[in-house]
Amino acid sequence: MIEFSSTWFLDGFLHPLETPSHLILLIGIAVLLGQQGGVNLVRNFLLLSFSIIAGFVVNHYLSPNTNNELILLVLALLVSLLIVLRLEYKLAWVQWLVAVLAVISGLILGLDSSPIIIPGLGANTFYNWLFGAAVSIIAAVITIALISFMIRNILQGVILRVIGSWIATSALFVLTLLLTKTTL
């Protein structure tokens, strides 16, 4: 029987917050969702949440051998550039692009979340860890997206655009370290 374990929940909870590529992308996608806002915020957030769960499932059953960290950082770069551009949210293609980015970001975040398994406690550690990781990502995205949504029009959106440029810089910084195989 699976029981709640604070140790594994906390370990999973901290994983996306302690992994630079995860943190940069989830801040980026949350700011983008908040910036685009409107009626699409809830839809895009739900798409992101379901994609994260789908990523967990795919990772568990298929364990695809992809360079997730590289994809996460390239996605973060793309997302941050969209934040800087502050595209018109009413345009249909922008709405589609943001939705697709939410789905891909969720999938890759889920794919790159591999729980710790201690032999003998497999199922318990596995589900508690994934639960923690899911709560962490979703809570961070909700919080950041809502803050971004509230400040999206302040100073004609300059605040979010500058944050976007910082996310782009951070993504480029970590991407450079990754490509030069420098460990942080």
Binding mask 96-135 for another protein (x = CB under 8 A): ------------------xxxxxxxxx-x-----------
Task: List the one residue from 25, 26, 27, 41 that touches another protein (CB under 8 A).
Answer: 27
Closest CB to another protein among residues 75, 103: 75
Is 152 a binding residue for another protein by CB under 8 A? The answer is no
Burial class (CB in 10 A: 0-12, 13-18, 19+), 174: buried
Place of tokens 């460990």: 183
Query: Which among 167, 144, 158, 155 has a CA at the least distance from the CA of 37?
Result: 144
Per the CB < 8 A criterion, the answer to whether 80 and 26 are in contact is no
- How many residues sit in the footprint of another protein (CB under 8 A)? 30
Per the CB < 8 A criterion, the answer to whether 62 and 54 are in contact is no
- Which residues of this chain interact with another protein, rule CB under 8 A? 7, 11, 15, 17-20, 23-24, 27, 114-122, 124, 155, 158-159, 162-163, 166-167, 170, 174, 184
